[in-house]
Amino acid sequence: MPNKNEVFVRTKNLIERVSLADILFIRQEARKIYLKTEYAEYWFYGKLLDFANSWPPYMFPCMKYTYINFDKVEKLRDHQIYFINGEIFNSIGLTNFLKTRKAFIEYLKAYSPTTRGPHTIRTLRKQDNPRISFSSKSKTKNNKKS
């Protein structure tokens, strides 16, 4: 029996377990489900609502029959959702985009990247890159005429 953090993809030639943490987005089109991960995409028959009711908060229903993974979202801009691998989800209308943007902001407040998730923010130190200057004084060039 699959747990609530994974999806089983069953096709004629394949049975594969896919973790929800690996999914960029998943949507249902008629009787088929389209599942997109960072490295693969799957089409299989099924009903999305059969297993979508118990998903964790990072799987957000941005439209009817479409869920996106907030942990994999890089930015939301111009009615498009940009994922961390460069994939762009652009089939979203204004109302759903505004609802998704509001939910994404709330998600970031509740699940800060500094405390949870794959996007850990690291403070930059001088020893990480010695070419970066952290001084508040700006260097001025001496314009001496010879």
> Is 80 domain-assigned?
yes
> Is 137 domain-assigned?
no
**Residue-by-residue pLDDT tens, the chain, 146 positions:** 456 788 888 888 889 898 888 999 999 999 999 999 988 999 999 888 877 777 888 899 999 899 999 999 999 998 999 999 999 998 889 999 999 999 999 999 887 655 554 444 444 444 444 444 444 444 444 555 54
pLDDT value of position 82: 94
Which residues, in sequence order, are CB contacts of 117 under 8 Å at separation 6+?
58, 71, 111
- Residue tagged 């990480």 (tokens): 128
- Residue tagged 């439209």 (tokens): 63
Structure tokens at 83: 């994922």
pLDDT value of position 119: 45
Domain that holds residue 41: 6-110
pLDDT value of position 97: 94
pLDDT value of position 26: 92
pLDDT value of position 7: 84
Domain count for the chain: 1
pLDDT value of position 113: 56
> Is 116 domain-assigned?
no
> Is 115 domain-assigned?
no
CA distances from 13 to 9, 10, 42 (A): 10, 8, 12
CATH number of the domain encompassing residue 17: 2.40.50.1020
> Is 87 domain-assigned?
yes
